[in-house]
Amino acid sequence: MSGQASELRPIVVAANWKMHKLRSEALEYLEDLGTWMDDHPRGLGTRVEVVVAPPFTSLELAVEHRPPHARIYAQTMHQSDQGAFTGEVSPAMLRDLGVDGVLLGHSERRQYFNEHDGALSEKVVAAAEFGLRAMLCVGETLDERQGGRAEDVVRDQLQTALSDLDVIKATSSGLSVAYEPVWAIGTGETATAEIAQGMHATIRDVLGSIFTAEIAERIPVLYGGSVKPANAAELLGQPDIDGALVGGAALEVESFSGIVSAGLDLVAGAGV
């Protein structure tokens, strides 16, 4: 069940700042992005959605200075609403700040902080319960791809992490999935558009088996792996690629807005 890009799914372009930007730098970025978005209103917030995911120290500032039509996401969270979890942040705390959503299972969280799919299953459910839009990240390592296990790895990640999310929450919570081949993050390497599309089609098939085909057609599936203005149009032009989770190129408004522009151009060209 391979989807066809349509009005059912928006194009979502997300800026993951990772551990970058002091508050003063964050404010300058948000103001500059807001200015750019004011100048490019057509399609923003409807067919093209912009997400900014700052570090925790700038979340409240980002909510207060949210660019027009943009959503603010946290980069991670704990699954409990409160408790003795030193250093963690709960979904209740994020909602209290006015945050819109949260990245879950980013490859760096998996690699450096031992996040596993069992915990992510709890986090996806907790995000939905607190009205946070979860963006679940999945992807394979270079060894897994070279060993011919890429699709199996991604399928297992999805099935485990989403197994406890009921159908109603899946449709109403704003769930999205970001495919990030680990071997293409921060390396300058990018999966070809054909490779990325193939995995995105697989992801949509798996989503259909977990939920329903109709629901799967409505869940945006983003590509994350060295997305830049130069390759954004080709990637976003694939039928099952519904946006981009951007790391390095998201740290400057000029390059990030170039990727958003590619999405706007695609929508304008499609007439949807």
pTM, to two decimals: 0.94
Model pLDDT, residue 263:
94
Q: What is the predicted pLDDT for the residue at 184?
A: 76
The answer to the question of residue 239 being in a domain is: yes
For residue 4, tell me if it sits in a domain: no
Give the up-direction half-sphere exposure of residue 126: CA atoms within 13 A in the CB hemisphere: 23
Per-run averaged pLDDT (10 residues), the chain, 272 residues: 59 98 98 94 84 98 95 98 97 98 95 92 96 97 90 96 91 94 74 93 97 94 93 95 96 97 88 54
- In a domain? residue 22: yes
Our answer to whether residue 78 is catalytic in this structure is: no
At residue 6, the pLDDT reads 53
pLDDT of residue 34: 96
pLDDT at 1: 40
pLDDT for the residue 270: 67
Q: What is the pLDDT of residue 33?
A: 97
Print the domain residue range for 136. 11-270
Nearest Cα to Cα of residue 9 among 194, 200, 227: 200
Query: According to the model, what pLDDT value does residue 186 have?
Result: 66
Query: 192 CB contacts (<8 Å, ≥6 apart)?
Result: none
Provide the pLDDT for residue 168.
87
Q: What was the pLDDT predicted at 8? A: 75
Give the domain CATH number at 75: 3.20.20.70
> What total number of domains does the chain contain?
1
Report whether 231 contacts 244 (CB < 8 A): no
Q: DSSP letter string over 121-161?
A: HHHHHHHHHTT-EEEEEE---HHHHHTT-HHHHHHHHHHHH
Catalytic residue among 108, 115, 140, 180: 180
- Report pLDDT for 4: 39
Is 200 contained in some domain? yes
- pLDDT on residue 271: 55
From the list 106, 108, 115, 144, the catalytic residue is 106
Clarify whether 180 is annotated catalytic: yes
Question: How many CB atoms are located within 10 Å of the residue 118 CB?
Answer: 12
In a domain, 253, yes or no: yes
**pLDDT confidence of residue 117:** 92
